[in-house]
Amino acid sequence: GPLIVSFGEMLIDFVPTVSGVSLAEAPGFLKAPGGAPANVAIAVARLGGHAAFVGKLGDDEFGHMLAGILGENGVSTKGINFDLGARTALAFVTLRADGEREFMFYRNPSADMLLTPEELNLELIRSAKVFHYGSISLIVEPCRSAHLKAMEAAKEAGALLSYDPNLRLPLWPSPAEAREQIMSIWDKAEVIKVSDNELEFLTGSDKIDDAAALSLWHPNLKLLLVTLGEKGCRYYTKNFHGQVDAFNVKAVDTTGAGDAFVGALLSKIVDDQSVIEDEPRLREVLKFSNACGAITTIKKGAIPALPTTSEVLTFVKGA
Ligand code: ADP
């Protein structure tokens, strides 16, 4: 099938073996591969799609382990570079009592931040039918320039651009800088997915409503999605908007739900972009995407929980 290229960071999350404790109190940590763009690529591949990850890892055991995980899952690793000096990024993740996650990052700098425009695999990037990215790769140079060049090359070659800002405030010098940089590439993307929290942050509105979402609309945009966790998602196109409710599940770990949602959506759009203009078909695609998100919350961890197509179909039938 046509190729989805996902650009950005891949790292290792260290997750406490018991939940509800501070980092200092945690008795131990389990390592879990993470990084939203990498999760999206794996989500696509699990569903039977054709995906590649573009980014930089450390030339260390963690970096090679992560590349191995991509490969085992059927994601092309032809766009991966290894930095000979810097290490693979790490994040220590705490789950607060209210279920929200807090991150402490080790990136000083990490390999992903050092990707240069010169080392991009442009041949791979130009073969993408969909090019997907976040905003963490915009935070510092030289990765920021590499991100902009990759986006430009994909666009010129005719790819659909897909953007999930995936806000991680602790990584930015200030909230104002985060907002400014995230918005600096806003009007390039044709598909944008934000979470409810990101909608509030980007618009400054304390309401998650149509007016707030539509204030993010731009003329090149074809599809805007706002994910609402256990409430599902809202969708906006030039001609219509609405909501598709979530599946009712007992969530144990929501890590990666948004990435599963995006991977599912892109795996459908890459085969036939016209679903965006056809509301009944788009609603079917979003139901499928909601199902992928929901399934991901039932199991611990992001990547181990990403479903195959037959798992999604069985889940939807049983729901
Ligand atoms: P993000 O991970 O980007 O914050 P969400 O948490 O909103 O995104 O999750 C993405 C999608 O996954 C939602 O739109 C929904 O379809 C599904 N999902 C997430 N959490 C739940 C939940 N608790 N119950 C059912 N579905 C969920």
Query: 133 CA to middle of ligand 1, Å?
Result: 19
Contact call for residues 88 and 114 (beta carbons, < 8 A): no
Which helix (H) or strand (E) segment is 64 a member of? helix 61-72
Q: What is the pLDDT of residue 99?
A: 64
Give the ligand 1 atom nearest the CA of 229: 7
pLDDT digits 0-9 by tens, 94-119: 877 766 778 899 999 999 999 999 99
Confidence check on the interface: ipTM exceeds 0.95, yes or no: yes
| Nearest CA owner, ligand 1 atom 19 | 229
For the Cβ of 203 lying below 6 angstroms from any atom of ligand 1, the answer is: no
CB atoms closer than 10 angstroms to residue 224: 21
| Nearest CA owner, ligand 1 atom 7 | 229
- Integer angstrom CA distances of residue 315 from 234, 247, 252, 290, 307: 21, 10, 17, 11, 10
pLDDT mean across residues, the chain: 96
Which helix (H) or strand (E) segment is 8 a member of? none
Burial track 169-184 (b if 16+ CB lie within 10 A, e otherwise)? eebbeeeeebbebbee
| pLDDT for residue 158 is more than 80 | yes
Query: 126 CA to middle of ligand 1, Å?
Result: 31
| Nearest CA owner, ligand 1 atom 16 | 290
Q: Is 279 exposed, middle or buried (0-12, 13-18, 19+ CB in 10 A)?
A: middle
Of all residues in the chain, what percent carry a pLDDT higher than 70?
A: 99
For the Cβ of 247 lying below 6 angstroms from any atom of ligand 1, the answer is: yes
Distance CA 249, CA 246 (A): 9
pLDDT digits 0-9 by tens, 5-26: 999 999 999 999 988 888 899 9
Prediction pTM value: 0.97
Query: 121 CA to middle of ligand 1, Å?
Result: 33
Pocket test for ligand 1, best of 226, 290, 312 (most atoms within 8 A of CB): 290
Query: 282 CA to middle of ligand 1, Å?
Result: 18
Distance CA 263, CA 305 (A): 13
Tokens of 79: 């766009």
| pLDDT for residue 303 is more than 90 | yes
Distance CA 283, CA 151 (A): 28
Distance CA 44, CA 302 (A): 13
Among 21, 62, 55, 16, which residue's Cα sits nearest to residue 38? 55
Distance CA 279, CA 6 (A): 26
Catalytic residues: 259
